[in-house]
Amino acid sequence: MTTVLAPVAGAAMELRSVPDPVFSEGLVGPGMAIEPDRGPGRAISPITGTIVKLHPHAFVVVGDDGRGVLVHLGIDTVQLKGEGFELLAAEGDRVRAGQPVVAWDPAVIEAGGRSPVCPVVALDAVAGTVVGVAEGVVKAGDELFEWA
């Protein structure tokens, strides 16, 4: 069982509510999402492992069991080319669950006309193996979902 933590503070929501079919239709895998609190903050690693992919707007951490979790900061934020994001770690770094990875401000993302919602996805997970734990408001570091 892998416990996946909320990478940001905000309101936990079903992945199917994300305004992007790549996430809402589960094309990259099951998971949950967070409507983040507005204002400057830090996205933390949802699991302990190694950062195998790091972009300003998204990152993937793979645990020692080989399971990867994608954190995507906002929708269509790749178009910002890193503007409004600050990397606090590097690709290849070993991180612990709860360690800051990216600093960002969801209010800035929203002001630019994009949704700041944060999908958190269990990559390559089999359907039915992810169970949401969080309901309502979460703090960064709270349990978001369990991956059986």
Helix (H, G, I), strand (E, B) or coil at 137: strand
* Residue carrying structure tokens 């309101």: 11
From 5, 72, 108, 117, active-site residue: 72
The Cα 93–Cα 110 span in angstroms is: 29
Write phi, then psi, for 63 (nearest 5 degrees).
Answer: -80, 175
Q: Tokens at residue 110, please? A: 């929203």
The Cα 101–Cα 114 span in angstroms is: 21
72 is catalytic: yes
The Cα 35–Cα 29 span in angstroms is: 19
CB 43 within 8 A of CB 104: yes
What residues are annotated to the active site? Answer: 72
